[in-house]
Structure 1
C-alpha cells in the first residue's frame, strides 16, 4: 500500500511539474478574400497591431504560469473588444439588423467544453462560454437563457447598441441590396432595417474594410507550461444571416476542439461546411487513428476534404508538443503565433 501511494504521489508530482519551454499560443482573426490588392498600409498596420497585442496578452498569461484556458480567454478578449474583427464589438449584423454572437471553449485536459449561441448583450461571449463549462452542468446555452446565465455569473452585460459599428452596418445594407436584386424574380422581400442604432463611429471603425467574402471569426489555441491544451472561438456569424442561424464556432468538434492526446483546434470559414465535415474533430481523429502529425492532419482536412466539398476557410491547430499548423484554402487568413521565447509572428496573405 505504501509503495502504491508513493507511486501515485510521484506520478502526480511529475504530471504537474511545470516546463516554461513548452508554452505556445496560436491565433486567427478570420479568413476570406484578404489580398494585398485590397489592403492599404494603414489597414494592414491596424490589423497587425491588433494581432500582436492579442498574442502578447496571451503570452503574458502563460509566462506568468497561467493556464492555457486563461490564455485563450484573455487573447480572445482583445479581439472581441476590437472593431476590426467579426466578434464582440466588431460583429456583423443579421438580416433583422441585430448582432448575434456565438462562442465556445474547450479544455484539452478534461475534455470539458462550454458554448453560447445567439447572445446579444454579453460583452465577451468567450467568457460566457467558459462560465457554461465551469459553472453549469451543461455544454451549450443559447439566446436569452445564456444571457440570463451570464448575468447571474457576474459577466459584463451591455446594451446591444455597444456592438454597432458603421462599417458592419453598411455591410448589411449592401448585402440586403444585392439580395433584393437576386430575389426580384420572386415574391420574397428582405426586411430592410430602417434606422441605424445611434452610436458614433470611431477612427478604429473606419479602418475596418470589406473586400468580398471575409469570415472574421476569431480563435486561439494554447499550450501551457503544465502540458495542457485549450481552444476557443468567438464570432458574430455571417452578414445577413437568418433568424436562429448558428455556425460552426460554438459547435464542439466542428469549429472548436481540444484534447491533450491529439490537438487543439479553432476554425474560421463558411460554418455550414465546417459543421458537416466536423472539421476540428476530424483533424484530431486523423492524428489519433492514423498517426498523422498535426500539420499533416490539418492540411488533409482544410486543403483536401473541405475543398472537395466546396468549403472555404482555415484552422489553427496545436499539439501537446508545441507543433502547430495554420492552413487555409481562402485567399488570406489573419493569423499569428508566439513561442516560449516570446518571439511573435503575424501573417495575413497566402504568400
Structure 2
C-alpha cells in the first residue's frame, strides 16, 4: 500500500511586542489559533487543495475580533478600517492581492477571487470594492470591524501623539503596534500555498499600504521551494523582501527551509530596526516558525503528527 503524501498547515496571528491585552486574553488567542489550524487541516485531510486550506484558516482568524485582520482590524488616523490581503499558489506563482479595502468581511476571499477570476494580480481601494460587489463577496457595516480593544488602542495612540492624518511621519508609520494573520499549507498533491491578511497599524496614515498584500514580501509560494507568510513591522519586511528571499536562498544556495528562515529573520534583519516573523512549509512537509520579536502567535498541524500552538518563545 502506497504511503500517503504529507500534508501540513501552519498559521500565525502576528509577531511583535508583548502586551497586557495578550496576557489577559491568552486563552482566547490560543483557541483562535487552534480553530484556524483545524479549519485549514480539515480541508487538507478531505483531499482539498492548499489554496482553499490557507483561505479557510485565514478566514477563521479574520472573523475573530482578537486578531488584527478582518473584524479586529486596527483603526487608521481617521478612525477608519483599511485592510490588505494577498494569496499565492505555488504551482504556477499565480497570486491575488487587495489593498485599502473597507467593509469586506473576509479580505482573503476577495484576494483569492482576484487570483482565480481576473486577469489582474492587485486591486485596491474603490476598484476592489466594486469588484467585490459584482461577485457578491460578503460585506459588513463599518461598525462590525471596530472592536472595543482596537478603539481603545486608537484613542490612546491619538492622545499620546495627536496629529492630523496628513502630518503623520516616519515615527507613526513605524510604531511598534502591529498585527497580521497568515497561513501556509502543503496538500496531498504537493501543492504549496500562502496567504496573509492585515488590518494595518494603529493610527496609521490614511492610504498606508504595508507588507501583507505585497507578493514576495507578505507571502510567497513556489512548489519547488516553500510557502512563506510574514509578519512584523511592514516597512522592514518590504525593505528586505522577506518571503521571496527565503525561497531564493533555498533555490539558489540549497539551504533548508529552517536555515533560510533563520538566515533572513535572525541574521540579515537588524532587530533594532523592528520585529519580523515568518512561518513556512516546504514540499516535503517540513515546517519552520522563526521570529526575532518577543512573541509570535502561531500554530501548526501536520500528517507527521506534529501539532501545537505557541505565543512566546519555546522554553
Residues 34, 333 of structure 1: 8 Å contact kept: no
Q: Of 281, 285, 289, which residue of structure 2 is paired with 1:326?
A: 289
Distance (whole Å) between structure 1 residues aligned to residue 139 and residue 305 of structure 2: 34
Residues 31, 332 of structure 1: 8 Å contact kept: yes
Residues 274, 311 of structure 1: 8 Å contact kept: no
Structure 1 residue 309: Cα displacement: 7.2
Q: Of 31, 38, 43, which residue of structure 1 is paired with 2:15?
A: 31
Distance 1:235 1:38, change over 3 A: closer
SS of 1:94's equivalent? Answer: coil
Q: Of 163, 166, 171, which residue of structure 1 is paired with 2:148?
A: 166
Residues 34, 214 of structure 1: 8 Å contact kept: no
Distance (whole Å) between structure 2 residues aligned to residue 65 and residue 39 of structure 1: 35
How many residues are matched? Answer: 305
Residues 91, 235 of structure 1: 8 Å contact kept: yes
* 2:172 paired residue number: none
* 2:107 paired residue number: 125
* 2:239 paired residue number: 276
Deviation track 1:224-266 (CA, whole Å, cap 9, x = no partner) reads 0000000000000111110210000000001110000111000
SS of 1:220's equivalent? Answer: strand
Residues 95, 241 of structure 1: 8 Å contact kept: yes
Q: Which has the larger radius of gyration?
A: 1
Q: Which stretches of structure 1, 4 residues or more, deviate above 3 A after TM superposition?
A: 18-21, 37-40
Structure 1 residue 38: Cα displacement: 6.8
Distance 1:308 1:333, change over 3 A: closer
Structure 1 residue 21: Cα displacement: 3.7
Structure 1 residue 311: Cα displacement: 3.3
SS of 2:261's equivalent? Answer: helix
Structure 1 residue 34: Cα displacement: 2.5
Structure 1 residue 110: Cα displacement: 1.3
Structure 1 residue 282: Cα displacement: 0.4
Which stretch shifts more, 314-323 or 302-311? 302-311
Alignment of 1:244-255 (within 5 A): 244-255=207-218
- RMSD, aligned α-carbons: 1.9
* 2:92 paired residue number: 110
Q: Of 165, 170, 190, which residue of structure 1 is paired with 2:164?
A: 190
Structure 1 residue 301: Cα displacement: 0.5
Residues 218, 235 of structure 1: 8 Å contact kept: yes
Residues 315, 326 of structure 1: 8 Å contact kept: yes
SS of 1:62's equivalent? Answer: helix
Residues 258, 287 of structure 2: 8 Å contact kept: yes
* 1:199 paired residue number: none
Q: TM-score, structure 2 length as denominator?
A: 0.92
Distance 1:135 1:317, change over 3 A: same
Structure 1 residue 213: Cα displacement: 3.7
Distance 1:79 1:130, change over 3 A: same
Distance 1:342 1:146, change over 3 A: farther
SS of 2:31's equivalent? Answer: helix
* 2:220 paired residue number: 257
Distance (whole Å) between structure 1 residues aligned to residue 235 and residue 16 of structure 2: 15
SS of 2:25's equivalent? Answer: helix
